[in-house]
Amino acid sequence: MRRTAVFLGVVGVLLGGLCMAFSAEDAKKKRQGKEKASVKKEAFGKTPEGVEVELYTLINTSGMTAKIMTYGAILTELDVPDRDGKMGDVVLGFDDLKGYLAGHPYFGATVGRVANRIAKGRFTLDGKEYKLAVNNKPNTLHGGLKGFDKVVWQAEPVKTADGAAMKFTYVSKDGEEGYPGNLTATVVYTLTNENALRLDYTAKTDKATPVNLTNHSYFNLAGAKSGDILNHELTLNADKYTPADDTFIPTGEIKPVKDTPLDFIKPKRIGERIEQLKGEPGGYDHNFVLNSAGKELALAATVREPKTGRIMEMFTTEPGVQFYTGNFLDGKQTGRGGVVYKKHGGFCLEAQHFPDSVNHANFPSMVLKPGETYRQVTIYKFSAK
């Protein structure tokens, strides 16, 4: 009897030890990021027309998450570790679809067919003049009245060893918002296991058309709930910018940033010289000409937030980036968790061709022709120190 009890006791201790070893092994695996990346799908409501909207959560092996919905192929949430490994949402957005449907300044949106402005909503292509809606007087902004940010995209899973990924497709009809040609646009969101959110865009058309796709996420690396971004430190690999008139349309010149508040060649606090940018509403809202000139996937910007230690590096194949400091945020938007978004509550780094390129022969062309494929890659890579 006693011998059996001793035997059972020993087996118990051995089994316990084995279990502990297994859970320690699990925890280690988790720490080392050996778990599989995954994608979760959920219903996210309906548009006023009754179209179902889906929300996809991409989870990488270190537990970072990105949420994207089919309405506007919008990035609604991005949870990133700080220097202590604490996760925090670093993009502005709403709790539910209703928030987005009520109208908002392109939070997290995939913007197209042409991101940024087209002067007076007009351009001429192959001898024909096209007229677009003037939705940002006196210009067209971000695709018009119902741009790619306000349509429902088709989602499909993508298999990749790099992390978790989803592909979103939208077919924009010939004449939609005044643009020529049936255009099929795709964007693949990949949340890599190296904590990077990678956006791969393509587009194809059956008539020549301008195309300029971008993502309009408002970042706050201290956390979307933590006030303004003026203490973030920014480096931009751009020696030049495109000066613009007071309706944000480029004059056509390309000027050095040196000795201006736009000089971010070396790391600088965003708030350091922001007050010197006069005009209405003030702040940064400028197209920077990247030194890489859009010739290759290159580092465009580095942003560091001192309190949390979060760092975001942005790489892109585009020739320009619109650096925008949320100047029009005026406390009218209440975001996720009841946070009121105020002026400079987030910053955008919108990879792009220069604004109004379709009307400036000296800017890199944004015209896509039949038979060609438009490609754009932008990566937002996160770390913490």
Give the residue numbers annotated as catalytic, written as ranges. Answer: 216, 350
Q: Is 229 left (phi over 0), alpha (psi -120 to 50) or beta?
A: alpha
Range in contact with ligand GLA (rule: CB under 6 A) among 30-38, 88-96, 321-329, 365-373:
321-329
Is 130 a binder of ligand GLA (CB under 6 A)? Answer: no
What's the sign of the alpha-carbon dihedral 357, 361, 366, 369?
Answer: positive
Exposure of 320 in the CB half-sphere (CA atoms within 13 A): 29
Rule CB under 6 A: is residue 328 a binding residue for ligand GLA?
A: yes
The reply to whether 105 sits near ligand GLA by the rule CB under 6 A is yes
Nearer to ligand GLA, 342 or 369 (CB): 342
Should residue 322 be labelled a site residue for ligand GLA when binding is judged by CB under 6 A? yes
Q: How far is the CB of 156 from ligand GLA (least distance, A)?
A: 29
Residue 335 touching ligand GLA (CB under 6 A): no
Closer by beta carbon to ligand GLA, 179 or else 354: 354
Residue number, 248 or 315, with CB nearest to ligand GLA: 248
- C-alpha distances (whole Å) from 248 to each of 141, 229, 365 are 10, 22, 19
Candidates 88-96, 181-189, 252-260, 322-330 — which segment interacts with ligand GLA by CB under 6 A?
322-330
| Site for ligand GLA contains 248 (CB under 6 A) | yes
Least CB distance from residue 278 to ligand GLA, whole Å?
A: 15
Q: Tokens 């024909």 correspond to what residue?
A: 128
Region from 49-57, 65-73, 76-84, 320-328 binding ligand GLA, contact rule CB under 6 A:
320-328
256-295: contacts with ligand GLA (CB under 6 A): 285
- CA-to-CA distance for 362 and 234, rounded, in angstroms? 28
Closest CB 322 distance from ligand GLA, rounded Å? 5
Work out how close the CB of 36 gets to ligand GLA at its nearest, in angstroms, rounded to a whole number. Answer: 37
Nearer to ligand GLA, 74 or 348 (CB): 348
User: Contact between 354 and ligand GLA (CB under 6 A)?
Assistant: no
By CB under 6 A, the count of residues binding ligand GLA is 10
Residue 109 CB, nearest approach to ligand GLA (Å): 10
Contact between 76 and ligand GLA (CB under 6 A)? no
Q: 126 or 246, CB closer to ligand GLA?
A: 246
**Contact between 314 and ligand GLA per CB under 6 A:** no
For the record, the structure tokens of 77 come out as 């949430």
Q: Output the CA angle 240-245-249, nearest 5 degrees.
A: 75
Q: Let me know how long the chain is.
A: 385
Torsion angle of C-alpha atoms 111, 116, 118, 120, degrees rounded to 10: 100
Identify the residue among 71, 324, 347, 380 touching ligand GLA (CB under 6 A): 324
Q: Which of residues 135-174 bind ligand GLA (CB under 6 A)?
A: 141
Cβ of residue 27: shortest distance to ligand GLA, in angstroms?
43
132 binds ligand GLA (CB under 6 A): no
Shortest reach from residue 256's CB to ligand GLA, in Å:
21
106 is a site residue for ligand GLA (CB under 6 A): yes
Interacting residue ranges for ligand GLA, rule: CB under 6 A? 105-106, 141, 248, 285, 322, 324, 328, 348, 350
